[in-house]
Amino acid sequence: MYRLQNTHPALLPFIDRIKAHSQTIEEARQFSGPLATEMIDAGLFRLLVPKKFGGLEVHPSILIDTLIAAGAADGAVGWNLMIGNTTGLLSASLPTEWSERMYLADPAAVTVGVTAPLGKAVREGNGLRVNGRWPFGSGSQLATWICGGCQVIEDGVPKPGPHGAPETLLVFFHRDDVIIHDNWRVSGLRGTGSNDIEVKNILVPEGRWVVLGGRPRIDAPLYRFPTLGLLALGVASVAVGIAERAIDEFITLAGGKVPTGSVRPLANRARAQQDLAEAEAAVAAASAFIHQTVSKIYDHAAAGGKVGMDEKARLRLAATHATWSSVGAVDKVYHASGGSAIYEKNAMQRCLRDVHVTTQHLMVGQPTLEVVGKVMLGIDPKTLL
């Protein structure tokens, strides 16, 4: 299957087990337990962590195909892997002392987080006194460290950053200092455990944070690649995986289902054949656009070139396009499936619910297209890409 071509080999033994545990993960509203622990021990949450800190430091294309494969097995597991890996990327930006303490010293440590700057951080000595509450804390049950976006408050007002917006720090908290609110009751991606997370009056020591959009401390091709672009591509990869699963489910269904009032299998209907072909083309084209864009920009970064606004916008365009193309593909095969698709035992209904939730992520929302259009027209988007 295409999605397994560049998948990291550490994931392959888990794919069937992930599928077998999908209903349990859905009902628990989180991904935890022995299967999660084994995947952590296999290094699957450290694909983007530098090798010097105990990570795998893979090419972005390997991350993308690994997330596609995981998302096809179960959207929630793919999502948790995406959050864990893209947060782990920050290990290249933390002060070396903290990267060594958080990652190298603990091979089983998992980091997750929320970038939205909903926390307030006030200088206290050399550290920061932080209060805040963030929704969408995916994978917090798995985490050793959890980060949250914070505005630095100076003299009662947010400290200004680039583009006129307040400076945002991604501040790390130990899991023991974080309150996890059990409020993740949603339509899709139920197994991600994306509850609200909160910290109250926590003093964070010097350096246990990174500046959002700042330059990494490690100079290597992976860390010259745009951080936000990788986050957006991660979201898109999960969506592509969910769409590939939906297509597979439709092929299986169509071969054996005889629609009510018909004597022919669904597979013999011209409209079903057309819908399947169009869904496959949409997903394959989206994947190709992602890989073409990633390969070109990564090679540019590896050669020492500066990744500019145009390249960053291209990455965001590829990610947004792939996410929404995946939604269209799932919608097409879901409707072609008929009434069979609505039953809980049919994975198609979960694909429908899960893929529509991916579109709500800020990194791939439709307003991204406006930002990309501004860049293409030479207009300053006044936002980080």
pLDDT at site 154: 83
**HEC letters along 108-174:** CCCEEEEEEEEEEEEEECCEEEEEEEEEEECCHHHCCEEEEEEEEEECCEECECHHHCECEEEEEEE
What is the pLDDT, as a whole number, of residue 258?
A: 59
Q: Tens digits of per-residue pLDDT, 124-154?
A: 999 999 999 999 999 999 999 999 999 998 8
Condensed to tens digits (0 to 9), the pLDDT of residues 211-236 reads 988 889 999 999 999 999 999 999 99
Q: How confident is the model at residue 1 (pLDDT cuts 50, 70, 90)?
A: very low
pLDDT in tens, 313-330: 999 999 999 999 999 999
- Give 304's contacts (C-beta < 8 A, 6+ positions apart): none
In DSSP terms, which residues pair with 210 in a beta bridge?
A: 170
* CATH number, domain 225-376: 1.20.140.10
Element (H, E) at 247: helix 227-256
Please name which of 267, 276, 375, 268 lies closest in space to residue 320, comparing C-alpha atoms. Answer: 375
149-207 pLDDT, tens digit each: 999 988 777 777 766 677 899 999 999 999 999 999 999 999 999 999 999 999 999 99
**How far is it, in rounded angstroms, from Cα 256 to Cα 265?**
6
Q: What mean pLDDT value characterizes the chain?
A: 93
Sign of CA dihedral 244, 245, 249, 250: negative
- Domain boundaries defined on the chain: 2-92, 111-211, 225-376
pLDDT score of 377 more than 90: yes
Give CA–CA dist 128/122, Å, rounded.
5
Same fold, 2-92 and 225-376: no
Alpha helices in 172-213 (DSSP H): none
pLDDT at position 163, please? 63
In percent, how much of the chain has pLDDT > 70? 96
**CA-CA distance, 88 to 54, in Å (whole number)?**
11
Other CB atoms within 10 A of residue 213 CB? 18
| Beta-carbon contacts of residue 56 (< 8 Å; ≥ 6 apart) | 8, 43, 46, 47, 48, 49
User: Does the pLDDT value for residue 259 go beyond 60?
Assistant: no
CB within 8 Å of 88: residues ≥ 6 apart: 45, 46, 47, 48, 49, 55, 103, 110, 111
pLDDT > 90 in the chain, percent: 84
Least confident span in 149-153, 250-254, 260-264: 260-264
In the numeric block, which tokens belong to residue 343? 């039953």
Residues 6+ apart with CB under 8 A from 97: 207
At the fourth CATH level, the homologous superfamily of domain 111-211 is Butyryl-CoA Dehydrogenase, subunit A, domain 2 (2.40.110.10)
Chain segment 362-376, per-residue pLDDT in tens? 999 999 999 999 999
Stated pTM of the model: 0.95
Residue-wise pLDDT for 52-101, tens only, equals 999 999 999 999 999 999 999 999 999 999 999 999 999 999 999 999 99
pLDDT at 2 over 80: no
Q: Is the pLDDT of residue 111 over 90?
A: yes
User: Which class in CATH covers the domain with range 2-92?
Assistant: mainly alpha
How many other C-beta atoms are found inside a 10 Å radius of the C-beta of residue 24?
Answer: 12
